[in-house]
Structure 1
Amino acid sequence: MSEKYHKEVKNRMKHGKKYLDSVKLIDSTRLYDANEAVDLVLKTAKAKFDETVDLSVRLGVDPRHADQQVRGTVILPHGTGKTVRVLVFAKGDKAKEAEAAGAEYVGAEELVSKIQNENWFDYDVVIATPDMMGVVGRLGKVLGPKGLMPNPKAGTVTFDIEKAVKDVKAGKIEYRVDKNSIIHVPIGKVSFGQEKLVENLKTIMDAIIRSKPAAAKGQYLKSVVLSSTMGPGIKVNPQRIL
């Protein structure tokens, strides 16, 4: 038997019946518009839990060049559906401001020690006031690889702590192209329904398009794919999203 046949059998063995049934609903040769794609994501999300809907965008940029980096933040109109745990490095009035805004963890040097000594990562976003970055900088090698290091471009190094915390809680997400020229971001939960997911999708895609570097040449949006946590990928027509 052919190598292609064996490969297909092997791939089928990796997935359960629900996944294979979902695949049958999708035309892999077709690019769907935003509404059709989201509708298919909902139909193919068959897990017993509320699956996250993920967006993957392959860009026509070379992230090895500084002038072709794509990075930014955007507040999704309907949030991500995830409870975001926030850690804030601040002192004095700014620490009180962070607590009042709803940050789960607030502190200074003692939090640095806790992270370093206990390998503590029970939080999703780290925010810091600029005067604390000298202290937080010691955690660069620990927080950096996890994408948790505060950054002015992401709005997580700021004296406006109240706004920063509330924005994150409201559904602010950061998007950033990886070394493979792909942006991966969540756009919500299956339970949101079609209308809310489409609005979130259009919001993040508009932000990504607006972030196109001047140095990027040729086709910018190479491919756009939507999928639920346990579902198959669904190709979206980049020209029929906004």
Structure 2
Amino acid sequence: MKRGKKYLESIKKINREKLYDLSEAVELVQKTATANFDETVEAHIRLGVDSRHADQQVRGAIVLPHGTGKKVKVLVFAKGDKIAEAQDAGADYVGGEEYIEKIQKENWFDFDVVVATPDMMGLVGRLGRILGPKGLMPNPKSGTVTFDVGKAIKDIKAGKVEYRLDKTNIIHVPIGKVSFGTQKLQENLSTLLEAIIKAKPSASKGQYLKSIVISSTMGPGIKINPAKLMITK
């Protein structure tokens, strides 16, 4: 893959073989972000588990202390008094059958997160094949299947992110924008890592945090030394 001049200049600022301290890595990710827009910073965390086994799954959600810097659109499937609760909490779309049809017939995806009350999951289940591959299917483990829709929406709007393993045992999560500055990005990343460490499956053996890489949207990856993380386990 051919890289642009800015990327090649950025890569000179880092040692590709070095494992950096968390604070060093966060500073470098800002220095190597050279795009003319506010780049998103993402964390890519490889775990020493096998996602093919049910007892080694790692999945959950956490509210980042400083949010992600992204305005998140929330679609809520609810009925009765839960409709008003969702609207009052700031949901962008609230309804039922009409949104099922809109997604199925119009391929409509003008939303980032889907929340549903448990009594709506029979209806929402029809969208499993559509929402599932996109990672948008509501799930109790991520707090998106709940009767407490007000809290769920407020948490999402405040910067709640879901983390889950992909098929290669890596978790990919946005931790903010370059403009956040070192301290806020560091606090967001520490909060995420602490949650992932607490979610360690009992079936996991050996080294749990295999590798941690952070990068901005257009910047190079910067490796963090898992052994030097000052996070309580």
* Distance apart, 1:239 and its partner CA: 2.1
C-alpha distance in 2, partners of 1:212/1:223?
Answer: 15
Cα deviations across residues 148-201 of structure 1 (Å, max 9, x unaligned)? Answer: 111111100100010000000001111001110100000000010000000000
Instruction: Give 3-state SS (helix, strand or coil) of 2:52's partner.
Output: coil
Instruction: Give 3-state SS (helix, strand or coil) of 2:146's partner.
Output: coil
In the other structure, the counterpart of 2:143 is: 155
In the other structure, the counterpart of 1:134 is: 122
In the other structure, the counterpart of 1:20 is: 8
Match status 1:112 vs 2:100: yes
Match status 1:172 vs 2:160: yes
Match status 1:213 vs 2:197: no
* Distance apart, 1:92 and its partner CA: 1.8
Q: How does 1:62-101 map to 2 (within 5 A)?
A: 62-101=50-89
TM-score (norm 2): 0.97
* Distance apart, 1:91 and its partner CA: 1.1
1:51 to 19, 39, 42: 39
**What is the aligned-residue RMSD (CA, Å)?**
0.7
C-alpha distance in 2, partners of 1:150/1:99?
Answer: 18
C-alpha distance in 2, partners of 1:139/1:28?
Answer: 43
Instruction: Give 3-state SS (helix, strand or coil) of 2:168's partner.
Output: coil
In the other structure, the counterpart of 2:25 is: 37
In the other structure, the counterpart of 1:6 is: none
In the other structure, the counterpart of 1:188 is: 176
C-alpha distance in 1, partners of 2:155/2:145?
Answer: 13
Q: How does 1:201-240 map to 2 (within 5 A)?
A: 201-240=189-228
**Identity among equivalent pairs (%):** 71
C-alpha distance in 1, partners of 2:191/2:8?
Answer: 31
Instruction: Give 3-state SS (helix, strand or coil) of 1:231's partner.
Output: coil
C-alpha distance in 1, partners of 2:208/2:185?
Answer: 23
Instruction: Give 3-state SS (helix, strand or coil) of 2:220's partner.
Output: coil
C-alpha distance in 1, partners of 2:52/2:78?
Answer: 34
Instruction: Give 3-state SS (helix, strand or coil) of 2:210's partner.
Output: strand
Cα deviations across residues 105-143 of structure 1 (Å, max 9, x unaligned)? Answer: 000111101111000000000000111011000100011
